[in-house]
Amino acid sequence: MGFIEEEIKVIKERDPAIKSSVEVFLYPSFYAILFHRTAHWLYQKKWYFMARLLSQVSRGLTGIEIHPGAQIGKGLFIDHGMGVVIGETCEIGDNVTIYQGATLGGTGKETGKRHPTIGNNVMISAGAKVLGPFKVGDNSRIGAGAVLLREVPPNCTVVGVPGRVIIRDHQRVDPCKMLDQIKLPDPVQMEFCKLLTHIEHLEERVRQLEEKTNS
């Protein structure tokens, strides 16, 4: 299947707003990915200036910034797309969907691998920030506005700032019991858990006193 046929199929599957195949030529995602495939080829040939130049032209036309060094699998769909940033050492698997304002970036001036690795069938919602050289597991969902700084296992849903797993393998996570196991520390959530435990203890103490009073 050629690039155009593949993009038509991907966009029709994931955007209910599209009414005809010809509309694919109005989607910035189509042009951003087309430019990136060419820019990445130039980057691999070590024609770095031409690769960056092409990526900057694409950025100006589409509002989507993809570094030519980024490795992107099949079936990427960037919905709306304005403000999306994908860094140089980012790796994206197959059938990934990214919404406007999302960033796949680094956290500083490190060398080497600086950007995230995104597994297959991942959805990154509007405004989400995935920052650092870690992996987001297959079939995971990153909620709108989440700031993700640590690795995510497969089949998870992540929300919040900092990002924390709330669903894993289709089961809701109790952060008071499982926070350490998934290694996503959230000081605010931990304080809520302490308060909840304290309240439960006080309620039990009040119940015991009431029983003594009534006996």
**Residue 170 DSSP one-character state:** T
pTM to 2 decimals? 0.76
What pLDDT score does 81 carry?
86
Give the span between the Cα atoms of 147 and 189, in whole angstroms. Answer: 15
What CATH homologous superfamily does 3-173 map to? Hexapeptide repeat proteins (2.160.10.10)
Task: Give the residue among 67, 80, 91 at the shortest CA–CA distance from 26.
Answer: 80
What pLDDT score does 174 carry?
55
What pLDDT score does 124 carry?
92
Backbone φ and ψ for 86, nearest 5 degrees, come out as -125, 120
Task: Give pLDDT tens digits for 182-203.
Answer: 344 455 666 677 788 888 888 8
Mean pLDDT over the full length of the chain? 85
Give the span between the Cα atoms of 71 and 3, in whole angstroms. Answer: 16
Average pLDDT over residues 136-150: 91
- The token pair that represents 57 in the structure block: 């032209």
- The token pair that represents 93 in the structure block: 């698997």
Give the span between the Cα atoms of 41 and 192, in whole angstroms. Answer: 50
Give the span between the Cα atoms of 81 and 83, in whole angstroms. Answer: 6
- The token pair that represents 112 in the structure block: 């080497």
